[in-house]
Amino acid sequence: MDNYIVSARKYRPQTFESVVGQHALTQTLKNAIASGKLAHAYLFCGPRGVGKTTCARIFAKTINCFNLSADGEACNECESCKAFNENRSMNIFELDAASNNSINDIRSIVERVNIPPQIGRYKVFIIDEVHMLSQAAFNAFLKTLEEPPAHVIFIMATTEKHKVIPTILSRCQIYDFQRMDLGDIIGHLRYVAKQEDIEAEDAALHLIAQKADGGMRDALSIFDQVCNYSQGKVTYNTVIEDLNILDYEYYFKATDDFLRIDYKSALLTLNEILNKGFDAQQYIGGLASHFRNLLVARDKETLPLLEVSDDVRNRYHEQANRCNPRFLYKAIKICSDCDAQYRTSRNKRLTVELALIELAQIEQADADPSSGLGPTRRLKPLAKTATQKAQATPSPSPKSEPASKASAPDAPKPKPVAPQPSRPGTISRSISLKGNRPGNSASDASLSTTGSSQPTPAPDDSPFTEEEMRSQWVNYYLNLPQEESALQGRMKIIQPTLVGTEEVLVKVSNEWVLNDFNRIKPEIEQYFHKNLNNSKIRLRIEQVEHDASTRPITRAEVFDAIKKEYPAVRDFCNSLELKLY
Ligand SMILES: [Zn+2]
């Protein structure tokens, strides 16, 4: 370990040619040197670790080289090149403005500017993170930058171009360094691994490159770290362990769970991830990226946008073909909503779990024809999901049998207002009235809506639309017995709405009507269960405030309106002191 040199330094490029991932830019610099058209100030912009300082050093070395090669590279053999390579050249001066940003630091540069180089032709001043210079330092520097001696070249580098003041920008030739291509980084890592005699899996190098986010210096640092950790053999598993990266296998698996509407497996996976010490938010963020990747992978044309190794890309393509775009859009939306809520959430784990359950419901909701009609969708009861698929095909409901038995003439009839079995759709109001019914035979029990422990097989919970529900609402009141004409009249003017998939909202205008509806609520529910073939339908009766635009107007108001419109009536009433009673 005595002569251990970090890879980022050991494999720092010495020529323009060996700079990774910036070919267009290095070629332009080479051309400028070859044609002798050098500016006196350059600004290198771009993210960290993409080669700005490296290029600045190579540039400084190349313009001072005594025997440039035919393709415009430094020879690395002349006295000047050797001095540069051994870090003892007097022609290069570096200032890191991030830590030396005072006016005195700049003055030390300005003082050196006027001393010509002893060997070579140019003195190069590299100012890194130039946007960090203080205002006073900037001002002190401007004058020198405006009229430097012919032997001076400034190269300024910054990660934040927008923070560099315009007066400096306008005096520089600007080069924008791009974030490095994943493939370039991987290629270079592979090269380094080979040089160091280290065995490295491609998938592992991919992960490292991804983690480095387009920066070669970071990629090499991570590579060093992983090499130390894994002792010579860099595998995918050692990298995810060492870097604490969430394995993409989790995302593939979770997506399969969501497609299968298997929320249980999704929750167990979350538990496993949390047990491994990962952050739930990190998982949700990763899921969002995974869905984005699937969206990209759906199309052959956008498939190359996926920066992963070939076999993983094929897996994305395969899974993407099983997801419809609607699922992916919704999934991304759910993840980003969850991510936004996460910070303020009191129960963070629950927030994420709910999101996972919601994700596992997307496919189910899509199979539901009523989806999209209701305002906001509600989650379906979880217990249903497992058997959902098995119940897809409707079969003759066993419930219809006891129903007809109950209404048959031999069934116990408490009231003379007996249902008419001959008339389909007729409401047999007496049947479900609790306590009204003597005896509790098996067939009766199956009808009771309030009984909670009934072993009756549930009817097929088939989806229905708001329109279908409203038409059943109309059927119900049309078939009410005559003595219920008041209720019929009230039901006529109410337009029930479907909330989510199974809740019917009935808005009433006063407490009295509310009580009236609560009284018959179980019956209407039961009627819906039967005629819409869905046992999960619930009725919610809500009392709402008077809506000024729809409430009925009183006689007094009518009278006032008449008086307002016909002043003669008003005068007449006033003169005789008439009042409305
Ligand atoms: Zn040379």
Average pLDDT per 10 consecutive residues for the chain, totaling 581 residues? 72 88 90 90 91 93 91 90 90 89 85 86 92 86 87 93 87 90 90 90 88 86 87 85 82 92 91 87 91 89 78 87 91 93 90 93 69 43 46 45 42 43 42 39 40 50 86 86 76 85 85 80 88 88 64 72 84 81 66
In-domain check, residue 383: no
Distance 68 CA to ligand 1 centre (A): 6
What are the DSSP calls for 125-184, one per residue? EEEETGGGS-HHHHHHHHHHHHS--TTEEEEEEES-GGGS-HHHHTTSEEEEPPPPPHHH
Same-domain status, 503 and 445: yes
Yes or no: say if 274 and 280 are a contact pair by the CB < 8 Å rule: yes
- Residue 166: per-residue pLDDT: 87
Domain boundary, last residue among 224, 243, 262: 243
Same-domain status, 517 and 537: yes
Distance 82 CA to ligand 1 centre (A): 7
Yes or no: say if 352 and 284 are a contact pair by the CB < 8 Å rule: yes
Distance 92 CA to ligand 1 centre (A): 15
Residue type, 505: L
Distance 6 CA to ligand 1 centre (A): 26
Distance 76 CA to ligand 1 centre (A): 5
Distance 238 CA to ligand 1 centre (A): 43
Q: How far apart are CA 567 and CA 96, in angstroms?
A: 88
Distance 156 CA to ligand 1 centre (A): 23
Same-domain status, 190 and 162: no
Distance 59 CA to ligand 1 centre (A): 12
- Residue 367: per-residue pLDDT: 61
Distance 13 CA to ligand 1 centre (A): 15
Distance 155 CA to ligand 1 centre (A): 20
Yes or no: say if 366 and 326 are a contact pair by the CB < 8 Å rule: yes
Same-domain status, 231 and 170: no
- Residue 294: per-residue pLDDT: 93
In-domain check, residue 167: yes
Distance 27 CA to ligand 1 centre (A): 18
Strand order across the beta sheet in which 538-543 lies: 497-499, 503-508, 538-543
pLDDT digits (tens, 9 = 90+) for 371-418: 443 344 444 445 444 444 444 444 444 444 444 444 444 444 444 444
Distance 22 CA to ligand 1 centre (A): 22
Domain boundary, last residue among 126, 150, 176: 176
Distance 116 CA to ligand 1 centre (A): 19
Domain of 333, CATH number, reads: 1.20.272.10
Residue 104: enclosing H or E segment and its boundaries?
A: helix 103-113
Same-domain status, 35 and 112: yes
In-domain check, residue 562: no
In-domain check, residue 569: no
Same-domain status, 186 and 167: no
In-domain check, residue 557: no
Distance 84 CA to ligand 1 centre (A): 9
Structurally, the chain folds into a number of domains equal to 4
Distance 35 CA to ligand 1 centre (A): 17
Same-domain status, 35 and 69: yes
327-336 burial by CB neighbour count: b if 16+ within 10 A, else e?
bbebbbebbe
178, 183, 186, 188 alpha-carbon torsion, rounded to 10°: -60
Distance 61 CA to ligand 1 centre (A): 8
In the three-class reduction of DSSP (H, G, I as helix; E, B as strand; rest coil), residue 234 is classed as: strand
Q: What is the DSSP letter of 545?
A: P
- Residue 106: per-residue pLDDT: 86
In-domain check, residue 202: yes
- Residue 332: per-residue pLDDT: 94
At CA 514, angle to CA 493 and CA 558, rounded to 5?
Answer: 50
Same-domain status, 133 and 231: no
Distance 66 CA to ligand 1 centre (A): 5
In-domain check, residue 277: yes
Q: Give the environment of ion ligand 1: residues with CB less than 5 A.
A: 65, 74-75, 78, 81
Same-domain status, 172 and 197: no
Distance 120 CA to ligand 1 centre (A): 10
- Residue 108: per-residue pLDDT: 85
pTM: 0.53
| Cα distance between the two ends of the chain | 106
Distance 64 CA to ligand 1 centre (A): 7
Same-domain status, 47 and 135: yes
Distance 538 CA to ligand 1 centre (A): 85
Distance 38 CA to ligand 1 centre (A): 18
Distance 172 CA to ligand 1 centre (A): 26
Same-domain status, 24 and 150: yes
Same-domain status, 283 and 226: no
In the three-class reduction of DSSP (H, G, I as helix; E, B as strand; rest coil), residue 533 is classed as: coil
Structural domain of residue 259, as residue ranges?
248-367
418, 424, 426, 429 alpha-carbon torsion, rounded to 10°: 60
For residue 294, count CB atoms less than 10 angstroms from its CB and return exposed for 0-12, middle for 13-18, buried for 19 or more: buried
Distance 122 CA to ligand 1 centre (A): 13
Distance 79 CA to ligand 1 centre (A): 7
- Residue 458: per-residue pLDDT: 53
Q: Residue 145's closest CA among 135, 132, 156, 161? A: 156
Q: What is the DSSP letter of 247?
A: P
Domain of 204, CATH number, reads: 1.10.8.60
Distance 33 CA to ligand 1 centre (A): 14
In-domain check, residue 198: yes
Distance 190 CA to ligand 1 centre (A): 29
Domain of 157, CATH number, reads: 3.40.50.300
